[in-house]
Each structure stands twice: as structure tokens, then as C-alpha cells.
A and B are shown apart, each in its own frame.
Chain A
Amino acid sequence: MTRQEFLLEMDEILGLRAGTLRGDEKLDDLQNWDSTALVGLIVLAENANQTNISPDQVVGCSTVADLLRLANVDPAPARK
């Protein structure tokens, strides 16, 4: 799963318009960031790139970029 695809999936998990997340947001600032979204993200991350992620790893994340790293998705924005 690419960075962009992962962010779009996160948009959906959080009920945000597609393309809202850029990757540098703090998780606590996100609309609809709750425990169910967190669980959804773990499931997403596990499915993405077949990465095994434990819940406590996600709990330790504070930014979207942290999550991208955890899901084995390149956290850096694509170069233009």
C-alpha cells in the first residue's frame, strides 16, 4: 500500500473528505480520532503490507507520520 493509499484509507476511517490528511497531523488533533478509529487503523495497518502491528505500538504513536512508519509505509511525501 502506498503512502497516498494509506492516507486515503485513514481519511475514510476518520470520516474525513478524501485527501484531507497530509501526513503531518497530530493524532489527538484529528476529528473523530477515537478508540474505534484506532482499532480500525490497526486492522488497516495489519492488512497493509502484511505488517504485524501490536496495539501498544499504535498507542505509542502521536502523529500520522508515526502511523505510516509503523505500517511500513514511507512517511515522506512523494516528490514532485
Chain B
Amino acid sequence: MPETTPSSPDLLRELHFPVTPATVLRKRHTLKRELLAQPNLLSRRIAVLGGSTTSELTAMLELFLLFHGIRPTFYESGYNRYAEDVLLDNAALAAFQPDVVFLHTTWRNVSEFPALLEPAADVDRRVRREAARFEALWDKLHDRYGVMVVQNNFDLPPLRPLGNLEAFEPSSRTDFLMRLNADFAAWARRHSWFAINDIHYLCAQIGLGAWHGGTYWYNFHMAVSPTATVALAQNAAALIKSVYGKSRKCLVLDLDNTLWGGVIGDDGVNNLILGADHPVGEAYLDFQRYVKSLRERGILLAVCSKNDPAIAKEGFSHPDSVLRLDDFIAFHANWDAKPLAMRAIAAELNIGLDSLVFVDDNPMERALMREQLPDVATPEVGSDVARYAEILEAEHYFDVHRIVRDDLSRAAFYDENAKRSEQQSTVADYGEFLASLDMTAEIAPFAPVYLERITQLINKTNQFNLTTRRYTSAEVESIAADAACVALYGRLADKFGDNGLVSVIIGRAAGDVLHLDLWLMSCRVLNREMELAMFDALVEQCQARGLRSLLGVYVPSKKNAMVADLYSRLGFLPDHEGAQGATWWRFTLPSAPLVSTRHIRRTASASASESRSSSSVPNSELLATR
């Protein structure tokens, strides 16, 4: 295995226990530069398919993967398009050819929770249906790409509508999620190419208060808080590195004040602090139990101690010692410098230094090991034995994606095939898929109730945004009240739920031409033909005002390439070009209404009574007020 040597260990300590999310977020770019300078990075393509926004997650995932020696290239799904990207064979995803697919979903992506006090049999069917929905994705991913699939299980929601009843009432959200997690786990046991990123554990470890993002969800559709995002990325990166054999193989332990309290050469075996009859002795006992559990799952154990070897070995004859001498595959007790002993252990076991983890209570020994053998992982365990195991776990040295590889059962094979056929038949082509969504759009002039959301959308939408112009809330209010403006919002709903207010158009009439200053749409509804519905509504508004043409402008930015051809796709003709690549496009309004999409049914505005009716503003009035 290639050895990697971080170029700036001090800086990279920020990615070791205890990781401080605020610091990692702050130093992201500096850390990335340092990590990219490491030699022998393994390049891998990671597709992150999200049920929420994923950009913050991938930024953190990149750091932690680099930290583990993996240089990732990412594909990110659009917001909440994890299922469509898989089921509809997204061409960009196919071209990306992922090595790993990470499905970043949370409790918010459960399609439907049970109704209160729903009969148990119905809940059973609902659990199976929801699990099968995910299973169909995993199957398809594996069939299509033959990749490792990493799937979040479900975290706990921030609220418990049923209080303590959530713990056992079958129709409760908590019970439902626990059953889904059990189904996910069962799937993981049956499929070697499938691994669970255990966010159910993480949310408990961090605490639900810190885990949930509160307003981060409503503002950015981040499923979890920034703190939780860092932890989630760290956990997922550890899982992915384990897939590529980058987990450590051997735990090398000091003895005195590491595996027992006291110095065996001075105190003798009978006076060591070890055992349940002493508070510190019990902590050493628990640490030994933890080390033993690592051995039982295949981690090699070795000793590296400055001691007389015969005396050192006596420690394992202590009646309370859980560890026995034969638990250790290498035993180096001598008076050599520990880095020398460590090299000897690596040579003896025929493994690289980067497979070793060294635990020693002595900060001088740790510092020397880090300085002379940086490839050996030497965690800053401190001197409190009660925390050794916690710190080892937090560093994810020994994470594996599975221990036992189970064969698929014949029954499961037939079950999976049936599900594939069912899914294939339901999404035969994209038009059919869109029709099946049963979409409705509310498109209307700006209404007071939506101005805040409209302002927010204007100030954060970058990709589907023709001009990337930003407006303050006061400017938006002014536009809403300006009779010369055609200002439309669009809400989109489908059978799975309400996507909310997702699109905004602002145009200003001059003569018989409407100049389009802004046209944006949230990426959460990309490829749903919502832009076509907006266009139809815009044309209708302009026709009602007696306007003759539209003049749109596309101003390229770093992020809005996806709409570079929007006007040409809608039938606009090139008009002229301006500075910084801006292009103007003209559309002559027809006399009849346009129907660009038949997949979205437009509904009346719920807030129509509050909004200014465009039909009540004839063009003659417009011309007078401009």
C-alpha cells in the first residue's frame, strides 16, 4: 500500500479528534490545498444523490476523503432528485461512471408516514412499500453501474408528535423509521455492495438539537445542521475509504498507564490498577474489553513498550486482565526508541506503516512517533484511559464496510426481479413519468404573502437564473406595486407534495415590449417543465396587456450555464449581443394562448384576492404610467 505523508501535520490536526465543525468550515480551502499536496492520492468518482441540497456535504466529504488519501470527483444530483437520477437513467450520471454512489437521504425523504392509529397490518404494508422504493433504487444502481452503494439510514425527526408513545405505537413516525432502518440493515446484510452510513447513530451521538438544522432546512434545504454535515461527511468518508482498503489493520499498544494503571517494572503485577474494584481500574478494564473486541473482529494487536520483556508479559497474568498474551501477534518490549520498534512490527507483520495505529499515554512518545513515522496513526489520546476508546472510534481507523459477506438468497432474487419489472413499467418514458406526477402550478402576479420568499429566492438562486440580478425586499415590494411590471411567481405541487414557490419572472414594459429583467427557478423542480408553464403564463399576461413582444437577456455567470439555451429552446430569436457575453433574445407574441406543457395544470391563485390583477391593467394604462 502506498504511504502518504501529510505536508503540514499541524494544520491537518483540525481533521483529527476532536473535529470542530466551525474550524473545518473556516479552513476548508487551506485544508484542501494541503491535502491535495499529498502524494499518491487515489482518484475516485463519487456520485452524491441527495434528498436535500448536497453542496455543503460534498465540500466536507471532499476534505475527509482527501484526508484518507482519496481524491474525489463528484457528481451531484439536483435537489431531491435522487430517485429520478437513478430510475430515469440520467445521462449525466451515466457519463460520469461513478465508482461509488452515495444516497444522502434523511427522514424528510420518507414519502408518506402512517396515519395516526393506522391498523398494524396497513403499517406493515406501508413499511414494505417504502423500503421497496429504496430497494428498487439500489438494485437499479447496482445493475446499471455495478458500484458500491452507500445509503444513509434514517435519523430521528426533531419532534415527537405522540411523545413517549412514539417508542411503541406502530403508526408513530419513530416506530416507522426504526422499522425502515431494520429493513435497510437487513438489505445490507444480504448485499455485499451495499453499505449503510449510520446517521441514526450519528444523530444520537451529536444530539438531536445539534443535528437538525432548523432554519437551514427552510432556507437552504440542508437536511442537517452544519455541525451535523461535518460529522456525516466524516462518517461517510470513513466508510468509503474502508471500501478501498484504507482502513488500518493493526493496533499497537503501550502497556504502562495505557492498558493498565501503574508501572509494572516498579509496582509489580499485583499492584497494577486494573479491575472493577477501582474506578480507574474499571476504566482500564473497559478499554481492554474494547481492544479485545477489535481483535475479535480481525484487528491485529501488537505491543510496543519500553520495558523488560519478561516483566512486561507478566501484566497479562493479572487476574482481571481481559487481554491475554496470545491476543497479541507481535510483542516488542525493549529499551529501543519506539519508532524503531514500530518499524520492526511492520516488517514482522509484512504490512505498511500506514496500517498501524499507535496508542500511548505518554505525550513525548506520541510526539516522537508522529515526527519520525508520520504514516503511523498516532491519535492524541491524552492520559485519561476513560476516553481512549472513544478517541480511537472517532478517528475511524478501523472502520469496515462489512465483516461477513452473505450470499443472496434465492427468495430475495425473485423478490427483487419482481420489483425491477414493476418499476420499469411505471417509468417507461419521461413524458409518462411527468404525467404520472399529476402536477399543478399556481402562477400569478406577486402577492404580499409571498414577497419574503420571492426575495429570498432571488438572492440565492444561481443556476437556473438568466441574469443573476439581486433585489432587496424593498425593491421587490416596489416591483410588485409597479403597474409597468409583469412580476410573476410560480408554485408547483405534485402528488408527492407541494414544492412551494419555485420560480420568479420580472419584466418591465416599455412601449409594446416586455423586457425580461429576471427569470429564475429553483433547481428542486428542474426537468419538470415548470419553466414552460411559467412561459405560458407570462405570454398570457403580456397578451392581456396588449404587448407585442418579449425581449429577454441571458447574462452568463460561473453557475448559470444550464440556461444558456433557454431562450432558443422557447422559440426566441437572437436579437443582439452586449458586454461580458450577454445576449438578447426576442419573442414575438402570438395572438392565441400558448400551451408549451400539458404536464402541468395551472390552478387559480390562492392569494388572487390580495394581488393586483393584471387583466385589470390595460396596456393603455401601462403606457400612461411608464
Q: List B contacts of A42 (CB < 8 A).
A: 226
Among B30, B219, B229, the residue within 8 A (CB) of A15 is: B30
Contact check, A36 vs B472: say whether CB atoms are below 8 A apart. no
Q: Is the CB of A28 within 8 A of B219?
A: no
Residues in B with CB closer than 8 Å to A47 are: 22
Query: Which listed residue, A12, A44, A59, touches B460 by the CB 8 Å rule?
Result: A59
A59-76 at interface with B (beta carbon < 8 Å): 59-60, 62
* Chain A residues, CB < 8 A from B22: 40, 43-44, 47
Docked pose: A36 CA to B27 CA in angstroms: 12
Chain A interface residues toward B at CB < 8 A: 9, 12-15, 28, 32, 34-36, 39-40, 42-44, 47, 54-56, 59-60, 62
The chain B residues found within 8 Å of chain A, CB to CB, are: 21-22, 25-30, 33, 53, 55-56, 59-60, 215-216, 218-220, 222, 226, 229, 455-456, 459-460, 468, 470, 472-473
Residue in A28, A34, A55, A60 whose CB lies within 8 Å of B473: A60
Contacts of A59 in B (CB 8 A): 219, 456, 459-460
Closest approach, in angstroms, between the C-beta of A66 and any C-beta of chain B?
10
CB–CB A55/B30 < 8 A: no
Closest CB pairs A-B (n = 4): A15-B29, A40-B25, A55-B219, A36-B59
Query: Is B25 within 8 A of A62, CB to CB?
Result: no
B29, B30, B216, B456: the one within 8 Å of A60 (CB): B456
Q: A12-B27, A44-B22, A60-B459 are in contact. Are A36 and B56 (CB under 8 A)?
A: yes
Contact A62 B472 (CB under 8 A): yes
Which secondary structure dominates chain B's binding surface?
A: helix
* Chain A binding surface, main DSSP class: helix
Note all chain A residues with C-beta closer than 8 A to B56: 35-36, 39
Task: Give the distance to chain B from A71, nearest Cβ to Cβ, in Å.
Answer: 13
Beyond A32-B29, A40-B226, A47-B22: 7 further Cβ-contacts under 8 Å?
Answer: A40-B28, A43-B26, A43-B226, A55-B215, A55-B220, A56-B215, A56-B456
Chain B residues with CB below 8 A from A12, complex form: 26-27, 29-30
Q: A39-B226, A40-B26 are in contact. Are A54 and B55 (CB under 8 A)?
A: no
User: How many Å lie between the Cα of A62 and that of B216 in the bound state?
Assistant: 19
Measured CA separation A62–B472 after assembly (Å): 9
In the assembled complex, the Cα of A36 lies from the Cα of B459 at a distance in Å of 15
13 A-B interface contacts by CB (under 8 A): A15-B33, A28-B470, A34-B55, A39-B222, A40-B25, A43-B26, A44-B25, A44-B26, A59-B219, A60-B472, A60-B473, A62-B459, A62-B470
Query: For B459, what are the chain A residues with a Cβ–Cβ distance below 8 Å?
Result: 59-60, 62
Q: Determine whether the beta carbon of B220 is less than 8 Å from that of A15.
A: no
Q: B216: which A residues are within 8 A, CB to CB?
A: 39, 55
B226 surroundings in chain A (CB, below 8 A): 39-40, 42-43
Nearest A residue (CB) for B54: A35
Q: Which of B222, B459, B472 has the most CB of A within 10 A?
A: B459
Q: Known: A35-B53, A56-B219, A60-B473. Contact between A13 and B26, CB under 8 A?
A: yes
Docked CA distance A32–B219 (Å): 20
Which residues on B sit within 8 Å (CB–CB) of A56? 215, 218-219, 456
User: How far apart are the CA atoms of A31 and B427 in the complex, in Å?
Assistant: 42
Q: Are A43 and B59 in contact (CB under 8 A)?
A: no
